[in-house]
Amino acid sequence: MGSLKFLSLALLFFTTSQVHSNNTQRKEAVVYHDREDAKIRSSKRISKTIFRLYESTVEEHCRIALYQLETLEQCNFNTSLPLVMIIHGWSINGMLEGWISKMAAALKSNQRDFNVIIADWLSLAQQHYPIAVRNTRLVGQEIADFLEWLELSLQYSRSKVHLIGYSLGAHVSGFAGTYISGSTKIGRITGLDPAGPLFEGMSSTDRLSPDDAHFVDAIHTFTQQHLGLSVGIKQPVAHYDFYPNGGAYQPGCHFRHVYNHIAQYGITGITQTVKCAHERSVHLFIDSLLHDDKQSMAYWCNDIHTFDKGICLSCRKNRCNTLGFNIRQERPQRSKRLYLKTRAHMPFKVYHYQFKIHFINHIQEKQLEPTFTVSLIGTKEDAVNLPITPVEEISGNKTYSFLITLDTDIGDIMMIKFKWKGTDMWAHIWDTVQTIIPWTKVASYQGFIVKTIRVKAGETQQKMTFCAQNVENVPLLPAQEKIYVRCENRLGRQKKKFK
């Protein structure tokens, strides 16, 4: 595609969210006629959606023709196995993207047995974005027809069906769940960063929603508005809605990299930046299939700012769940927003810890944004010099909460080295003061006292309390480090001394 044509499509895509707010009444009329048009066109039994049964590669697929039973036999469709259908999104170049074969292969990995079908609707997706949006209803109807045909012809239960839709494909999945006849619902729908423009703020019947399947989950990875663009939908659309890293941007995909991408890829560098965060939802799901031993855990929370304080790491009453394929399929009464942190590359899992640190501020002068570091000594390995920066001024006698994430499993934490990150000059000044003034007089007026450090591990739900290894109530000074051990361990050693 020529760069000018691409630029026009990109600009059109950037402005579609504004079209949404200005044309609500006209869209409602169009939606009605789209639905009727979908029914009329599907009744002619001419499917524009191509159903490809995945074998070893996308190129080695076997096409199943709607209403032609012999093609099911020719393609070796196995009625005893569950069906997973992958549904792509909007297309610029009219080609199936590389992630599709990766996901199909991942679904077949680790001795899993599925019928994996790729719903190819490229002829309807390679259109101007608003037209592709209109076509999602038709494709949803054709997928519903396909599943009904399997049920009538082979007694294949729709409850064994899992639709995985990316971007516009997520809403295609929702429409399939809406249009399928009867009271029994499709087993599961997974929306991978469901498209935002022309869907954000719409009613549940005009987008993916929890009503579209027995269980619906969604992963939101690019909901931040930039230049009038919100590629992924921000509002909850599922039983469990996951917002990795807040759902706005993803590690390694920030817009500050757009200039580097333009320098490397030319005008298509814009899409590289958008694609990175938007498509991260896909790779998070693939990651859950490939790494059974590194499943990412997410936690219910009101928003990412609260989550960043580490106070949402509870698994009580279904407040946490596993992101991706292995999610616990429980249906809450209301949609739940779950948050988690990830790495910038696969495997994406990190380990979440809440640190609740009890500070007593004995500094007479105003202390602005001190920075601390902690080193964690674990039973498996150590994690050193992890930064902790308070979001507010430390004052008085108060407990502050922080979120710390680790890339590796360090086992049980046995010791914490806590340091006030200061300069050697500060340390020299304090040493001079201690020489001139007796320590006992300075101690009650200068520095921070760290009374206790309470730690909660999100993944294990283990709670630990750490106390100063030696002397309590001694202030922590700039560039100084103190060691904290499990309080019960320290008390045990003290008891032995007095025996």
User: Residue 62 is part of a domain; what is its CATH number?
Assistant: 3.40.50.1820
Domain stops at, among 288, 317, 340: 340
Whether residue 475 is contained in a domain is answered as yes
* Residue 416 pLDDT class (50, 70, 90 cuts): very high
Q: Are both 279 and 425 inside the same structural domain? A: no
* Least confident window among 108-112, 314-318, 329-333, 335-339: 108-112
Q: Which long-range contacts (CB under 8 A, 24 or more apart) does 491-497 make?
A: none
Whether residue 320 is found in the same domain as residue 384: no
* 292 carries an active-site annotation: no
pLDDT at residue number 446: 62
Domain boundary among 281, 315, 340: 340
Q: What is the mean pLDDT of residues 105-109?
A: 94
Distance CA 20, CA 7 (A): 21
Q: Is residue 207 annotated as involved in ligand binding? A: yes
- Asked if the structure places residue 128 within a domain, the reply is yes
Q: Tell whether 45 and 132 lie within a shared domain.
A: yes
pLDDT score recorded for residue 264: 57
Residue 326 and residue 184 in one domain: yes
DSSP state of 476: B
Of 188, 178, 186, 288, give the one whose Cα is nearest residue 244: 288
Given pLDDT bands bounded at 50, 70 and 90, which one contains residue 456? very high
Domain boundary residue among 281, 307, 340? 340
Indicate whether 133 and 209 sit together in one domain. yes
- State pTM to two decimals: 0.85
Query: Is 245 a domain residue?
Result: yes
C-alpha dihedral (19, 21, 24, 27), degrees to nearest 10 = 30
**Which tens digits make up the pLDDT trace of 432-444?**
555 555 444 444 4
3 counts as catalytic: no
Range of lowest pLDDT (235-249, 269-283, 375-389): 269-283
Look-up: residue for tokens 């949609």?
335
Structure token digits, residue 251: 């590690």
In a domain, 485, yes or no: yes
What the block records as the tokens of 309 is 């304080």
For 112, 306, 320, 460, the CA distances from 315, given in Å and listed in that order, are: 28, 16, 5, 9
Q: Summarize the confidence of residues 414-427 as an average pLDDT.
A: 75
Q: What band does 10 get if pLDDT is binned at 50, 70 and 90?
A: very low
Q: Which domain does 453 fall in, by range?
A: 351-498
Q: Verify that 380 and 474 share a domain, yes or no.
A: yes
Together in a domain, 279 and 299: yes
Active-site annotation holder among 145, 193, 206, 287: 193
> In the beta sheet, which residues pair with residue 403?
354
Q: Is it the case that residue 44 has pLDDT exceeding 60?
A: no
Least confidently predicted of 207-211, 382-386, 388-392: 388-392
User: Do 305 and 276 belong together in one domain?
Assistant: yes
Cβ proximity of 110 and 294 under 8 Å: no
Q: Is residue 345 part of a domain?
A: no
Rounded to the nearest 5 degrees, what angle is found at the Cα of 219, between the Cα atoms of 247 and 149? Answer: 155
- pLDDT higher at 253 or 296: 296
Mean pLDDT, residues 7-32: 40
Taking the C-alpha atoms of residue 232 and residue 204, their distance in angstroms, rounded to an integer, is 16
C-beta separation of 159 from 214 below 8 A: yes
With cut-offs at 50, 70 and 90, classify the pLDDT of residue 1.
Answer: very low
Instruction: Flag whether 212 is marked binding.
Output: yes
Q: For strand 188-192 and strand 161-166, is the pairing parallel, antiparallel, or unpaired?
A: parallel
Query: Among 357, 354, 250, 355, which residue's Cα sits nearest to residue 312?
Result: 354
Please indicate whether residue 430 or residue 79 has the higher confidence score (pLDDT).
79
**Within this chain, do residues 372 and 241 fall inside the same structural domain, yes or no?**
no
Highest mean pLDDT, choosing among 15-19, 204-208, 257-261, 418-422: 204-208
Check whether 133 has a pLDDT greater than 50. Answer: yes
Provide the pLDDT for residue 363: 62
DSSP one-letter code for 115: E
Do 392 and 323 lie in a common domain?
A: no
Higher pLDDT, 470 or 357: 357
What are 183-242's pLDDT values in tens digits?
Answer: 999 999 999 999 999 999 999 999 999 999 999 999 999 998 765 667 999 999 999 999
> Total domain count for the chain?
2
**Polymer length in residues for the chain:** 499
Has residue 421 been placed in a domain? Answer: yes
Question: Same domain for 129 and 238?
Answer: yes
Same domain, 261 and 380: no
Spatial separation of the C-alpha atoms in residues 140 and 161, rounded to whole Å = 14
Residue 171 annotated as catalytic: no
> What is the distance of C-alpha 259 from the center of its chain?
25
The dihedrals phi and psi of 446, each to the nearest 5 degrees, come to -120, 145
pLDDT (0 to 100) of residue 67: 94
Residue from 278, 283, 287, 296 carrying the catalytic annotation: 278
Q: Residue 497: what pLDDT?
A: 42
pLDDT at 20: 40
116-144 CB burial, b ≥16 within 10 A, e <16: bbbbbbeebbbeebbebbbbbbbbbbbbb
- In 291-353, which ranges are continuous DSSP H helix? 304-307
pLDDT confidence of 61, banded at 50, 70, 90? confident
The better pLDDT of the pair 196, 34 is held by: 196
Q: 92: which DSSP letter?
A: S
In a domain, residue 346? The reply is no
The pLDDT-based confidence of 150 (bands split at 50, 70, 90) is very high
Cα 225-230-231 angle, rounded to 5 deg = 140
In whole angstroms, give the CA distance from residue 406 to residue 349. 9
CATH of the domain at 380: 2.60.60.20
Answer yes or no: is 363 within a domain.
yes
**Average pLDDT score, the chain:** 83
The reported pLDDT for the residue numbered 197 is 94
